[in-house]
Amino acid sequence: MPELRRDPVLGRWNIMAEQRAARPSDLKHEPVSPRGGFCPFDAGHEDKTPPEILAYRETGTQPDGPGWRVRVVPNKFPALHAEGELNKKAVGLYDSMQGVGAHEVIIETPEHVVSPTALSDEHFAEVITAYRQRLNDLMRDPRFRFGIVFKNVGTAAGASLEHTHSQLIVTPIVPNVISRELRGALEYYNFRGRCLFCDIVRQERDEGARVVLDDPDFLVFEPFAARFPFETWVIPTQHDSQFERISSHQIRRLAHVLLQTLRRLETALDRPAYNYIVHSAPFSVHDAEVFRGVLGPPPIAEGDGLQHYHWHIEIIPRLTQVAGFEWGTGLYINPVPPETSARHLRQAVV
């Protein structure tokens, strides 16, 4: 069973998941993509994964057999386990709990395709629909407080299989980065009475210099203080704190905009390794109340969302190594200003 442990200095949690590496010597050998080799995600290999949790399939086909278009299975080497109670405890000044959660893999196509940009808008919309459906199912479990969808492409981005897939992890705690985003956004909301992210959308559209794509439903831009070269955000122009409430219309638009953006990155950077991550508020608005003592109650929007937080997707091409300075300070040195990368992405022919 993995264990969640709290860093006593920074207050953030990390996962100790021993079974993911049998021996320390295994760590030196990163798994590589089986180019031309056996792939457990290909059609016909359904018995090489754990049984499916969800699949969008042709009528008349059987679970864990062929005929699917998008298939969701538990991760074979999960960071967190679905069974068990949290068993929170302390030893001296250290806090820990059992590593309870969910870790699923969204296999995006039965074909052995290595980039989602080979998929049609309609097909990719089904992938995003699977994200939504799984999150809406998992958030009903009272042990779970937060869910994140992400994608790793390329060995440098931590991918162990090249067949295009996404992952979903649900945690029993609100992770550090999300807590800090909620806090920063609440400080801004308290000061200005508006959503920081809505203001960013307005200012980026006005300035234009960092905009990559300006769609009525989604703005794609390079963030002003980008940590990484070609870091790119995709943000809905309509305010909502919860990704899992995305509408079917928005899903169709997001599929188109996200694939267009990834194609531009692939052209400009010659198919880089990258991660994308969906940032969304915790499942319950009450988890945004942790700063109430300092900052007052969080503003709750109609339909139970948060007025101060705004879900979005962050895309991080993995072009530079993170070195000692960045690990020690959290201050990133970015050799490509976002105005430059935005220009390259606007000019990229796809």
CA angle centred on 149, ends 130 and 119, rounded to 5°: 55
**Using an 8 Å Cβ cutoff, are 334 and 228 in contact?**
yes
Q: Which of residues 24-83 bind a second copy (CB under 8 A)?
A: 24-25, 27-28, 30, 79
Characterize the bridge pairing of strands 13-16 and 89-91.
unpaired
Of 41-49, 130-138, 143-151, 211-219: span binding a second copy (CB under 8 A): 143-151
Q: Which is nearer to a second copy, 96 or 133 (CB)?
A: 96
Residue with tokens 């097909």: 123
In this complex, which beta carbon is closest to a second copy, that of residue 91 or of residue 302? 91
CA 348 to chain centroid, in Å, comes to 25
Contacts from 8-12 at CB under 8 Å and sequence distance 24+?
8/93, 8/94, 8/95, 10/176, 11/176, 12/175, 12/176
How far is it, in rounded angstroms, from Cα 296 to Cα 307? Answer: 14
Of 158, 217, 284, 299, the residue at the interface with a second copy (CB under 8 A) is: 158
Other beta carbons less than 10 A from residue 333's beta carbon: 12
Within 324-343, which residues bind a second copy (CB under 8 A)? 324-325, 327-338, 340-341
Closest separation between CB of residue 66 and a second copy, Å? 29
Q: Which span sits near a second copy by CB under 8 A: 55-63, 117-125, 236-244, 267-275?
A: 267-275
Cα–Cα distance for residue pair 54/51, rounded to 1 Å = 9
Q: Residue 190 interacts with a second copy (CB under 8 A)? A: no
Six token digits for residue 65: 């057999």
Q: Which residue of 112, 175, 190, 214 would you call a contact of a second copy, by CB under 8 A?
A: 175
By CB under 8 A, residue 258 contacts a second copy = no
Strand runs (DSSP E) across 17-160, as ranges? 54-57, 68-74, 89-91, 94-98, 102-107, 146-153
Distance CA 185, CA 307 (A): 10
- Residue by residue, DSSP assigns 275-305 as EEEEE---SSGGGG-TTHHHH-PPPBPGGG-
Report the residue from 129, 167, 190, 247 that binds a second copy according to the rule CB under 8 A. Answer: 167
In the complex, what is the shortest distance from the CB of residue 61 to a second copy, in angstroms, rounded to a whole number?
31
Dist CA 21 CA 27 (whole Å): 7
Of residues 194 and 252, the one with the C-beta less far from a second copy = 194
Using CB under 8 A, which of 13, 189, 243, 283 touches a second copy?
A: 13
CB of residue 279 to a second copy, shortest distance in Å:
6
Q: Which residues pair with 274 in a beta bridge?
A: 153, 317
Considering the complex, what minimum distance in angstroms separates the CB of residue 108 from a second copy? 15
Q: Is 297 in the site for a second copy (CB under 8 A)?
A: no
Nearest approach, Cβ of residue 89 and a second copy (Å): 13
Which residues is 214 bridged to in the sheet?
219
Q: Give the nearer residue to a second copy in terms of CB position, either 58 or 206.
A: 206
Interface pick for a second copy out of 92, 142, 216, 303 (rule CB under 8 A): 92
Residue 43 vs 290, nearer CB to a second copy: 290
- Give me the least distance between CB of 285 and a second copy, in Å please: 19
Q: CA 29, 34, 38, 40 torsion: positive or negative? A: positive
Q: Which of 144, 230, 243, 311 binds a second copy (CB under 8 A)?
A: 230
From candidates 46, 181, 244, 287, binder to a second copy by CB under 8 A: 181
The site that binds a second copy (CB under 8 A) totals a number of residues, namely: 99
In the complex with a second copy, the residue whose CB is nearer, 56 or 332, is: 332
